[in-house]
Structure formats: C-alpha cells, structure tokens
Amino acid sequence: MRNRLPNAALAKGPVEREPWLIASAGAAPQRAHPFATWLFVLGIVLPGDMSFLIGGAKFNPERLIIALLLIPALLLLLQKGRRLVVCDLFMLLASAWMLVVSAENRSAELSSSGAVALELFGGYIVARAYFFGHLAVVEFIKALKVAVVIIVAVAMVDHMSGKLIVNSFLGLNSEPEYRNGLMRGASVFPHAISYGTFCTAAGAIFLYSEGRRVPQICWVGIAFLGCFLAMSSAPMLMFMVVLSVYSYDRLLKSSPWRWKVFGTAIGAVIAFIYLTTNNPTSWIVAHLTLDPSTGYFRKATWDRALYNIGLAPWVGFGFGDIGESMEFFDNASVDAVWLVIALRFGVPIVAFLLLANVTSFFVGFGRKTVGPTLDEYMDRMRSGFTLAVMTFVMVGLTVHYWNTMWMLWGAYIGIRASLYEHFLGTRHFGELHSAWHGPPVYVPATARRW
C-alpha cells in the first residue's frame, strides 16, 4: 500500500481538531505563500491595459508578475511529494499548440501568441504550485476578497463619475456603454463583460468558502453587486446558474449520487437541443443572453465564424484579417473565446483547452473523483472552483478573453487541479479513518478560524 497512516494519527486528537493537517506519507509540505499570493492578486487588481517595455519586451502587470513567479513555481511544483495530473498535460498541449502554430506558419505573430501562452499557462503553473493545500487556498481566498472589494469599489466610482475611470486614467476610451438605461461598469478590466465574469467566478468561490451564513451572504452579495454593475447578460445569467447549482448541491448534500444525476440531466438537455434544432450551437449561444438583439448578433457571428474555421481547421488564420473584406461579420468583433482561438490557432487548441478545463475536476466515471475527506473546507472548495472554472467556460461562449482574464482562467484551472491532487493524497486517510472510527468528525470552526 503506497500511503500509510500511523495508528496514532487515526486516534482522536490533533487529527480531529485540525483535519487539514492530514497528508500522505512523503507528500510535499502544504503551506501558505503569502508573498507570492498577494503579488499574484496584485496582478489581478492592476489594469491589464497598462503596458510598458522591459528590455524591448512588452509587459503588463500580470505578465511581469507571472514572469517573476514562474521559475520558482516550477521548482515548487516539481519537488518531491507533488504529483502531476492529467490536466497538466492538456494545459501544456494547449499552450504549446499556440506557439508551434505561430512559429511554424506565422513567426511574426509569435510574440502575441507567447503573451497569451504566458498568461494562460503561466497563471496555471503559478496557481498549481503556490495554491496547494488548505492553508494556501485559505490565503488565496483572503487575498481574493481584498481584490473583489477594490475592483467593485472602482466599478462604483465608474457609475458615480459617469465614465470608465481606469480607461480615462490610461488615456483609453472612457465613454461607457448603457443597457436598459443603466451604465455598464468595467472597473479595472477592459470591458464590462470581463469584469462581470470576474465577479461571477468570485461569487461561486465565496458560496463555498464561507462556513457561516452571514459572511457568506455578505461576500456573495458584494460579488453579485459587482456583477450587476457590469450590466452584462452572460455573467448575470451565469450567476443565476451558479446560485441554482449551489442550492441543488445543498439540498441533496447527503446524496452522493447528486452530481451523476446532475451531469446526466445536463447531457439530456444538450442532446434534446441538438436533436430538435437545425443549428444547436447557435441556438445555445443565442439563448445565453438576456437581450435578444445581442443573442441574434452572436448567432450570426457563430455561423460565419464556423464557416471560416472550416477553411483552415488545423492551424487557423493567426492574428491577421480573416475572411472577405466586404463581409460584415468577417470585420465585426468575434465575441466568443472558443471561436477566436479556433480562428487563430485551429480546432485542436479548442479540444486541448476544453479538456484541460474538464479534467481539472473530472477524469472519468471509472475513478473516484469526489467524496468527503477529513477536510470539509477543501471538500467545499472543490465544488466552488469547479463552478468558477465552468463560469469561464460558459461565459466564453459569448465573449473573448484577453490580458488579466487569461491569467485568471489559467489560475482557476490550476487551483482546481491542485484541489484534485490534494484529494488524491487525502482520500485514502478518509477511508482508513471511516473504517477505524466511523464517518470523519468535521470541525467547521477550522475553516472559519483560518
């Protein structure tokens, strides 16, 4: 048996009081990294459009911070006791495909591809390395709360001033958009929908990170306020989905089969849509927005983009012009990250990135990937970060990501993959503990105290 637990560790004592101390024999130390955590979150708070040159290379805050943390993160991730998961492979393949396609066919665009790969894969590696274990996740949540307060506060200033205050400071377009007579705040992000997506993902995390009801309502309320200030359909709709899934999870908390039923139901709905509509993908996208006009525009965008993708399915078109100069939708913005990466790098990167998202929390029905361990807080956070990852996946059907959003997406995938790695290292002890002492004795105060 690979993992062994001393008999004394199964006795009631420190294990019962602090269940997160449990780790497999020979596992890497699980500790917080405050400096790296707060430096990383600083990259979220600082505007991604604030660019500068260092040694002839163009940086923005998040790229510089990732560059500073990347090599130490790799060394930390490769230390004894850490284990690789299948998600690591797909993230590597997705990033490598960007670079290989650009270097082989469009070397002049290698710098742009390199920037995206640095943000996505760099954010992933930094998160995998530094946010592993109970204490590290708690430290990240604490820093994320500070970031959410600052970012939502800036969005409130947007509304009070009647302009996008950060864009105005950076000398960019500061004239806001309006929807239903209300201004769309963008805070430190380049667009309102990116800001709304950030708030929705944060709300999903806060739903599960707070063990007490009042703090949970407060932090989720702040995230919801931020999402509302963005006045963006897809993030708002996704926030409703997140709340619904959370309610379903709490209602059937004692039923271990709930996620299989949920997944089966989602699959049945998607199958029904594909069997009963002529263009199912466009139908789904058109109904992901609350404003019918934007839904139909996106449907037409998808139809034209899918046609162009079929012309160069393997390597895409790069960062240059696509399609016919006289065709309106070939010159319009493509508001879907999945379409944009397929148009730029080909269909394979869509498969790699989608598999990276999915395998961060699901590796097949044949393996046990969910279930309680001795650490209730980490059990909850697996669900929270799964919803955060799915927020990026789903909202990405209606918006393209850039700068900070790439880093955030990679980081949330990385944290979810690390939570899965942590689960693999601790589930064995939960099983032994149940066999010797019955069900684990959870101590919710632990999560509240840290």
Q: In this predicted model, what pLDDT tens digit does every residue of 112-127 receive, in sequence order?
A: 899 999 999 999 999 9
Give the pLDDT of residue 6.
45
Indicate if the pLDDT at residue 306 is higher than 50. Answer: yes
Beta bridge partners of 58: 53
Question: Can you tell me the distance from the alpha carbon of 153 to that of 303, in angstroms, rounded to the nearest whole number?
Answer: 38
Give the pLDDT of residue 444.
42
How confident is residue 428, by pLDDT bands cut at 50, 70 and 90? low
Give the other-Cβ count within 10 Å of 300's Cβ.
14
Which of 114, 184, 88 is closest to 406 using CA atoms?
Answer: 114
The pair of three-digit structure tokens given for residue 157, joined into one six-digit string: 């200033």
**pLDDT over 70 percentage in the chain:** 82
Give the pLDDT of residue 263.
83
Among 124-138, 141-155, 362-376, the least confident range: 362-376
Q: Which helix (H) or strand (E) holds 140?
A: helix 134-161
Distances from the Cα of 93 to the Cα of 26, 84, 100, 349, 362, angstroms: 29, 14, 10, 8, 18
Indicate if the pLDDT at residue 26 is higher than 80. Answer: no
Q: Where are the alpha helices (DSSP H) in 174-313?
A: 192-209, 213-230, 233-251, 258-276, 280-286, 292-309
Give the pLDDT of residue 437.
47
Average pLDDT of 415-440?
Answer: 69
CB-facing half-sphere around the CA of 359: CA atoms within 13 A: 15
Question: Can you tell me the distance from the alpha carbon of 109 to that of 344, in angstroms, rounded to the nearest whole number?
Answer: 10
Q: Distance from first CA to last CA of the chain, Å, rounded?
A: 33
Average pLDDT of 155-173?
Answer: 90
Residues 6+ apart with CB under 8 A from 271: none
Q: Which helix (H) or strand (E) holds 317?
A: none
Which of 220, 232, 225, 159 is closest to 191 using CA atoms?
Answer: 232
Give the pLDDT of residue 299.
78
pLDDT tens track for 405-414: 999 999 999 9
Using DSSP's 3-state secondary structure scheme, residue 178 falls into strand
Question: Can you tell me the distance from the alpha carbon of 411 to that of 131, in angstroms, rounded to the nearest whole number?
Answer: 9
Indicate if the pLDDT at residue 215 is higher than 70. Answer: yes
Torsion of CA 183, 188, 191, 194, to 10 degrees: -110
Summary mean pLDDT of the chain? 85
Give the pLDDT of residue 172.
83
Q: Which has more confidence, 424 or 282?
A: 424
pTM for this predicted structure: 0.89
Give the pLDDT of residue 280.
75
Average pLDDT of 272-288?
Answer: 74
Which of 392, 314, 382, 310 is closest to 353 using CA atoms?
Answer: 392
Indicate if the pLDDT at residue 319 is higher than 50. Answer: yes
- Structural contact between residues 197 and 403, judged by C-beta atoms closer than 8 angstroms: no
Give the other-Cβ count within 10 Å of 229's Cβ.
24
Question: Can you tell me the distance from the alpha carbon of 73 to that of 77, in angstroms, rounded to the nearest whole number?
Answer: 6
The pair of three-digit structure tokens given for residue 173, joined into one six-digit string: 């377009």
Using DSSP's 3-state secondary structure scheme, residue 301 falls into helix
How confident is residue 16, by pLDDT bands cut at 50, 70 and 90? very low
Give the pLDDT of residue 58.
84
Question: Can you tell me the distance from the alpha carbon of 367 to that of 371, in angstroms, rounded to the nearest whole number?
Answer: 11
Q: Is 112 exposed, middle or buried (0-12, 13-18, 19+ CB in 10 A)?
A: middle
Highest averaged pLDDT of the listed ranges 26-35, 278-287, 361-370:
26-35
Give the pLDDT of residue 109.
76
Pairing of strands 52-54, 57-59: antiparallel
Indicate if the pLDDT at residue 103 is higher than 50. Answer: yes
pLDDT tens track for 216-247: 999 999 999 999 999 998 999 999 999 999 99
Question: Can you tell me the distance from the alpha carbon of 301 to that of 364, in angstroms, rounded to the nearest whole number?
Answer: 33
Average pLDDT of 108-114?
Answer: 81
Indicate if the pLDDT at residue 436 is higher than 60. Answer: no
- Structural contact between residues 48 and 61, judged by C-beta atoms closer than 8 angstroms: yes
Question: Can you tell me the distance from the alpha carbon of 94 to that of 71, in angstroms, rounded to the nearest whole number?
Answer: 20
Considering all CA atoms of the chain, what is the largest pairwise distance in Å, rounded to the nearest integer?
75
Degrees (nearest 5) of the Cα angle 96, 125, 52? Answer: 80
Indicate if the pLDDT at residue 143 is higher than 60. Answer: yes
Indicate if the pLDDT at residue 276 is higher than 80. Answer: yes
Average pLDDT of 337-366?
Answer: 91
Indicate if the pLDDT at residue 1 is higher than 50. Answer: no
Question: Can you tell me the distance from the alpha carbon of 417 to that of 90, in angstroms, rounded to the nearest whole number?
Answer: 12
354-382 burial, b if ≥16 CB within 10 A, otherwise e? ebbbbbbbbbeeeeebbeebbbbbbbbbb
